[in-house]
Structure 1
């Protein structure tokens, strides 16, 4: 059987040097960082992707290990494997660059919990990071790559340097990419449970799988938080090995962040035409690459607790864009009506109570199930 490399896990990353930060920025000095992942698909080997994309100094990795997770920061020591980079156990990643480990030949099973441990001997500077990792990570001082448990470890609510794994899967395996904002990434879902929209949707698939390239706070047209969606297309979709389909949710932060950042002064919002033009450009670029593109309506957020986010102007733009997406003139192959899936029937501009995470902007674990159930699986012909 002929095999090829296919993405099995992804984590889109943020520049820690942005002017506006929603999440804490971290650096590390002489520490071990241990992070868990759950591959969406399996294969006969894997390789690990690390990034210093937004670093301003070389990232020295004094060692990297792979193991199966037990619980918390614990690993099964019988599965502990040293990762190599061009045959050596250490690597220095230049600023602005990524690196990929040498292949590790082992059976990878979809859904198993793996742990990547990195020893960072020098000062890393502010790390290239992801807002919502699969689960809480851990860090301790010193080289504890092979420690069975990291005692007295500090918990890390954000992910660092780890951008994904690929697996050796049968040639012809096709996957989808969830691409967009917090409704893709899984903000406000329970860490370690696989309750993001892509993970929920993945469990419904009978063939192929879906990886998550959401960034909470991300926008279609404007940088911060993360490079804007149109700027991320090549790296976070087109360069993902095996991608054939894309599920997009974007627009909430284009409408809400300007007001929230400028509060109490009014912020300048994009017009409906601005968003329609941007969404059309996104669909056209993905179609040019031969991908199937599923758009989605912009989710409800009226009454959110974040000051300045919910404005009359923003709600009017959302309504017009959703009307366009629900009509016949949009450029997508299909539309998933995610807004309707979780909206309060009596107040459709609000999230219904049983799906509300508590902030009026994000859905909870039950809400992501409703979102996943709203996606017609015949659209994901993987």
Structure 2
């Protein structure tokens, strides 16, 4: 019955699109992103399985094996293109046997949807250390009608074969989405539709950091930019219920397939720290927000709005930044965004409380004093085009901490750390944000 259901779904999604849509000239819009950091294993993953079987030696990284990365594009098109990154690698990264298909479940793809992906007309690409590469457009026959209701929320499976040894791996630690990996030495298995070749699981994404879709109508892209509270810590594993996901569903209810929300959060990220970052000087929170704005926001396609929620880690024991330094960093970052993306709308988001956190780096009185000071700056400085008051949506006014129902962790079912909101908190954040503040107009 599973295979019959998949065939029926494919038939529905393959129905032809309207003639006027076919005649429109496509434009690229980023439909999914994952801000890179590295090298693996430096980072803050959530619910990570033991990676020792898939990647026994982090210095060698992936070795002649295929990664099947599962991701949810926030908009669909008849064509896609992929950006692969070796930003924090120390050796040339060679990929071949790259494929993209509709995710079925586990490590499998829907039969008949898997398509090879080329780079400059070739099946193999080598990305130098510190570099990146865009693929050629690849047709997605199952998305012949990108507006098909049954396509909304479906996931893409992107398979990458690492030829030889990758060396230190560029990755996004906190995917909160299960992907799949072959054993080392298994070779190029991306063309296979089944899951037997992919025995190992990972809760992270490797090498792939953006997917664009070809849009035939204006499709504004909203970038959620920030730290672990944007990345989704303590939300539901594989549940797509981070606050940007909640906001996405609200915007899609208004605009259909003509909008995309992408997540540029990194767990532990700071606005102004660390001062230095790279393969030889890694930091679990990734490069500073200011250092990554170009790659993670400005060089994405079709960006219309940015929602910036960040600063709590700057004020932690890991950052110890002054309020003045973070305010100055935000002024610098907003100016850089507006210079890099003319007409971009920048929304400032107030910081949620960490008061009483069980994390040793968070919850101290000095942090909360600075947090409240930054929130006053965000609300009153006039720097931002609009304000998303996440603090008001999550604060227990009686204690100054997160509301009690927003504390227990959804990912693992643990007690929570009083720093990261759970699903209830993220729903309140995503539901309380006025869509007109993000994308004004019709």
Of 398, 419, 424, the residue aligned with 1:346 is 398
* 8 A contact 2:290–2:333 mirrored in 1: yes
Provide the rounded CA distance (Å) in 2 between the counterparts of 1:245 and 1:312: 33
Question: Cα–Cα, structure 1 residues 46 and 343, in superposed 2: closer, same or farther, change >3 Å?
Answer: same
> For residue 239 of structure 2, what is the aligned residue in structure 1?
193
Query: Runs of 4 or more off by more than 3 Å in structure 1?
Result: 20-26
Aligned to 1:3: 26
Matches within 5 A, 1:37-48: 37-48=71-82
Per the TM alignment, residue 312 of structure 1 is displaced from its structure 2 partner at its CA by 2.0
Match of 1:12 among 35, 56, 79: 35
Match of 2:85 among 45, 51, 56: 51
1:89-144: CA deviation from partner (whole Å, max 9, x where unpaired): 12111111111111112225442211011111311112100022251111112132
How many angstroms apart in 2 are the aligned matches of 1:275 and 1:55?
29
Secondary structure, aligned partner of 1:203 = helix
* Conserved? CA contact 1:298–1:322, under 8 Å: yes
**Counterpart in the other structure of 1:373:** 431
Q: Which residue of 2 aligns with 1:79?
A: 113
For residue 109 of structure 2, give the secondary structure of its aligned residue in structure 1.
coil
- Unaligned stretches of 5+ residues in structure 1: 262-267
- Residue 121 of structure 1 corresponds to 163
Are residues 21 and 239 of structure 1, via their aligned partners in 2, closer, same or farther at CA, if it must alter by over 3 Å? closer
What is the Cα deviation at residue 189 of structure 1? 1.5
Partner Cα distance (1:155, 1:276) in 2? 40
Q: Measure, in 2, the Cα distance between the counterparts of 1:241 and 1:2.
A: 16
Counterpart secondary structure, 2:314: helix
For residues 305-331 of structure 1, give each alpha carbon's deviation from its aligned partner in whole angstroms, at most 9, with x where no partner exists: 21132222212111211122233x231
Q: Which runs of 5+ in 2 are unaligned?
A: 1-23, 46-50, 275-282, 410-415
Q: 128, 145, 148: which one pairs with 1:94?
A: 128
Distance 1:255 1:330 in 2: 22
8 A contact 2:235–2:421 mirrored in 1: yes
- Aligned pair count reads 370
Is the 2:180–2:198 Cα contact (8 Å) retained in structure 1?
Answer: no
CA drift at 1:230: 1.2
2: CA distance, partners of 1:232 / 1:138: 27
Counterpart of 2:191 in structure 1 is 146
Question: Aligned partners of 1:145 and 1:324: how far apart in 2?
Answer: 49
Pairing 1:251–2:251 present:
no
CA contact (8 A) 2:356 2:364 kept: no
2:13 corresponds in structure 1 to none
- In the aligned structure 1, how far is the partner of 2:162 from the partner of 2:43? 24
Alignment correspondent of 1:222: 273
RMSD of equivalent CA atoms: 2.0
TM-superposed CA distance for 1:17, in Å, is: 7.4
3-state SS of the aligned residue for 1:347? coil
Aligned to 2:17: none
Report SS of the residue matched to 2:161.
strand
Map of 2:278 onto structure 1: none
User: What is the rounded CA distance, in whole Å, between the counterparts of 1:151 and 1:324 in structure 2?
Assistant: 53
Structure 2 residue 420 is matched with structure 1 residue 362: yes
Deviations 1:280-312 (A, max 9, x none): 222222233321110011111112221132222
Q: Secondary structure at 2:325's aligned position in 1?
A: helix
Structure 1 residue 192 displacement after superposition: 2.1
